[in-house]
Amino acid sequence: MQFVLIGICVVIGLVILCNIKIVPQASEYVIEFLGKYKTTWGAGFHVKIPLLESVARRITLKEQVMDSPPQPVITKDNVTMQIDTVVYFKVFDSKLYTYGAVNPITALENLTATTLRNIVGELELDGTLTSRDKINGNMTKLLDEATDQWGIKVTRVELKNIIPPKEIQQAMEKQMKAERDKREALLKAEGHKAAAITRAEGDKQAMILAAEGERDARIARAEGEAKALLLAKQAEADGIKALIDSNPTASILELKKYDSLIKMCDGKAAKIIIPTDAVNAVKNNVLFSETTGLGNVTAEGVDVQPPKQEDACCDDDTSNDL
């Protein structure tokens, strides 16, 4: 009898141990009582009633990632392309997740594919390739609203790859090459333009500097010539003043006039018009010279008698007479 009691106690202990449940963090257990939903266990220590209670589902509350395979999608302009998506979601209600759909993950995959087809079907090829953010936002909003009854919260949807047909890829590559060639040509043209403008600016500055240098040189030469002329005139004025201070005679003044005439001719063929007073002065000077004999360098004339020729006959007679 004692061994029977010990056996019963051991069996009871094993049953209790088998019905002790420890729920890990970020997880929940859905508990059913005789096949009907009873409660949801959170993280911690729990004991279920043997044979009456059962764990219907173990659910993780962590964020999960669903990577959908590429799906054929037709755009508005009838281009078929392959698009695969990545959906980020987490369970916020374990009861709805357990009883809302038979297989919530499969339902979410199918809903993602149909939603993607609906959204991309309203866009053309170029719009699909350039509107990733718009497609991601629309899909996140629609999937989140549709999966609320399944206890799923869709946090984010991303288009992973967009694979157009090979013909479209080749056409796009040609278009991109043409765009790159166009940009290269534009950049070269802009470079040539900038270089030409820079050269023109340099030539302009060089011409301005050369003109300024020529102007300064001319000013310097003009100032030098003016200064030299001023000094010459000053020297001439000083000479005239000195001549006046020396109280010159009329003859000296006449000589100065002649010197001036000689300087005016300067050894070149020139016509000089002598004023009447100068002619009169010259005439008076000649008359004065002839009258006074001053300035006359010509010797007075002397009567020169021709030598007497000797007569031999006469000479003899004379000598005889003597």
Q: How far apart are CA 258 and CA 171, in angstroms?
A: 104
Question: Which DSSP helix (H) or strand (E) runs through 87?
Answer: strand 80-91
The secondary structure of 99-120 as a DSSP string is: HS-SSHHHHHHHHHHHHHHHHH
What pLDDT was estimated at residue 235?
82
Q: What are the tokens at 319?
A: 């000598």
* pLDDT number for residue 265: 63
Mean pLDDT score, 116-144: 89
Q: How far apart are the first and last CA of the chain?
A: 239
For helices 250-265 and 276-292, give the axis angle rounded to 10 degrees.
130
Paired with 88 in beta bridges are: 65, 156
Give residue-wise pLDDT tens across range 301-310: 444 455 555 5
**Tens-place pLDDT, residues 184-222:** 898 889 888 889 999 998 888 899 999 988 888 989 888
Averaged pLDDT for residues 69-86: 88
Query: What are the pLDDT digits (tens) for 146-163?
Result: 999 999 999 999 998 888
The half-sphere exposure of 214 on its side-chain side, counting CA atoms within 13 A, is: 6
Selection from 151, 165, 83 nearest residue 119 by Cα = 83
**185: CB partners within 8 A, 6+ apart:** none
Position 274 scores a pLDDT of 55
pLDDT at 267 over 70: no
Q: What is the pLDDT of residue 123?
A: 87
Higher pLDDT: 111 or 307? It is 111
Give me the chain's average pLDDT, please: 79
pLDDT 10s digits, 221-232 = 888 888 888 888
pLDDT reported for residue 316: 46
Place of tokens 């392309």: 81
